[in-house]
Amino acid sequence: LIAGIGPIGLMAAFALRLRGADVIGMDIVDEDSLRPRILKQIGGTYVNGKNVQGTDLDEVYGEADFIFEAAGIAKLQIQLIDALAINGIYVVTGIPADERPLNIPVGIMMQQLVLKNQVIVGSVNASIHHYKMAVEDLGAGLLKWPAAMNAIITEKINFQDFEKAFHQHSDEEIKVVIEWKQ
């Protein structure tokens, strides 16, 4: 399960699909928008988070052996723990922007983590080895799904117009590249 199929979540989907994993991607954009279409092109399944809550994912799709969170929504991050299977691994990469209080049954959550032998890890950095793997995966993904891989970069902007990259966003935008050539 991948929560948040922006650039980071889609790259995780590519890496998992290259390794033969079944991928369910969850986001809150329309099913016909670009990100879900790319996910489907590589053989993934899209779930609209507006229709299915994080707490209901395990009932609808079964428990997940692996969850990769790239949404940065604190409430969802906690809800996804319920969808994690026995011996499951949950990687949290999204950084929540708000500090809204959440009512969390911490005792029950900790019991689940221990009794189900689950792992939760946060990640923000990678080593040189991981960057090399990423380059290899990008090449393999480009060979296997050229249209999907090329669709990730949705716009290229000259460095003189860099503010546009930070202030103008749409559901169809995935990754904007700022070019440094004249």
What is the CB neighbour count within 10 angstroms for residue 76?
Answer: 20
DSSP β-bridge partners for residue 47: 26
- Overall domain count for the chain: 2
Domain of 50, CATH number, reads 3.40.50.720
Residue 155 sits at φ, ψ, to 5 deg, of -160, 150
Which pLDDT band holds residue 98 (cuts at 50, 70, 90)? confident
User: Does 164 have pLDDT greater than 90?
Assistant: no
Same domain, 96 and 37: yes
CA–CA gap between residue 103 and residue 137 (Å, rounded): 40
**CB distance 70 to 4 below 8 Å:** yes
Strand, coil or helix: 16:
helix
Which pLDDT band holds residue 11 (cuts at 50, 70, 90)? very high
Same domain, 93 and 171: no
pTM equals 0.90
Same domain, 53 and 110: yes
Length of the chain: 182
Same domain, 176 and 110: no
Handedness of CA 85, 17, 54, 8 (dihedral sign): positive
CA–CA gap between residue 29 and residue 163 (Å, rounded): 24
Strand, coil or helix: 1:
coil
With a pLDDT cut of 90, the percent of the chain lying above it is 72
